[in-house]
Amino acid sequence: MTELVIQIDGIELSEFYGENNAHFKKIKEHFPKLKIVGRDRNITVNGEEQELLEFEKAIKSIIQFIGEYNHISVEDLEKFLTKKWVLTPSEASGDDILVHGVGGKKIKAKTPNLRKLVRLSESNDMVFAIGPAGTGKTYTGVALAVRALKNREVKRIVLTRPAVEAGESLGFLPGDLKEKLDPYLQPLYDALKDMIPMEKLSAYIEKGIIEVAPLAFMRGRTLDEAFVILDEAQNTTHSQMKMFLTRMGKNAKFIVTGDPSQIDLPINQKSGLKTSMKILNDTQGIGFIYLDDSDVVRHPLVRKILQAYAKNDVDKR
């Protein structure tokens, strides 16, 4: 008898073991000659060497599959166990899927303009995505960043926003600086949590592979081999926008998202986004995509709200 120990790294244990250990029970059923014990991230197996080799191959393929798609169905599990090896699930065919999120959620660009955003990002190192709230520009940008990281096109993701008060006073918020700033960055965390299992996301953040930080923290840096997203760019000043855009390093991708109709800067302060849209509009290597209420991917009422405000409220800054 030989003993084999396999460690399950980089995936959610609940996906590997299945609900009520259903996946693990099926694995054990397929290898009745082996004594298999699973404790958290360690699988200890005892048996004959040939059986152990087959078991190891199946388990490593299953782990690789879950690492890629964040989910495995009973049908796909069965294919691995019966040696009908597949590296992609049958339902995932098609180039429109940007990334498989938590639980196998298929994340796509949902509108023609968002699909254009994807194409622009693939052909330009810098893209400006301009449009109203709810159009999915930030979410799609984060999906592109996660895809690039997963495909090893970049070594890290940097997500940033200007910490501008939108009717609230930052000084009166409780906590230290990080606790004061985190609410401004929460939409970026929310998108990441949709696409990367929590345990893996925490590890990425701890190692600096994914960084979510206020715009002020970008000053003086050079961002090499990174996928960088500046969100809420309408709340940058001219000098802040220039500072951010010139952080671009080697093998970097930048996406700038913003909504010129929702500027929270002081009334006498010009938006850096609006200025850059005029200055950089014809610059080769920079793509611009303009989204509108037809791209809204939230509740249908959001589109109607945007249309009503567009008729009655024009921001002239």
Closest CA to 226 of 243, 241, 212, 206: 212
Indicate whether 145 pLDDT > 90: yes
Indicate whether 288 pLDDT > 80: yes
Residue 69 neighbours by CB distance under 10 Å: 24
Q: Provide the token pair at 196.
A: 């990367």
More confident residue, 161 or 128: 128
Q: Provide the token pair at 312.
A: 């009655």
Domain ranges within the chain, ordered by starting residue: 2-90, 97-312
User: Which pLDDT value is given to residue 313?
Assistant: 60
- Strands in 35-39's sheet, in edge-to-edge order, are 2-7, 42-47, 35-39
What is the Cα Rg of the chain in Å?
A: 23
User: Which pLDDT value is given to residue 11?
Assistant: 80
User: Which pLDDT value is given to residue 75?
Assistant: 79
User: Which pLDDT value is given to residue 174?
Assistant: 52
Rounded percentage of the chain residues whose pLDDT exceeds 90: 43
pLDDT in tens, 167-203: 444 454 455 555 656 676 788 889 999 999 888 899 9
User: Which pLDDT value is given to residue 236?
Assistant: 93
CATH number of the domain located at residue range(s) 97-312 in this protein: 3.40.50.300
User: Which pLDDT value is given to residue 176?
Assistant: 52
Q: Provide the token pair at 301.
A: 């009422």
Q: Which CATH number fits domain 2-90: 3.40.50.720, 3.40.50.920, 3.30.1370.10, 3.40.50.300?
A: 3.30.1370.10
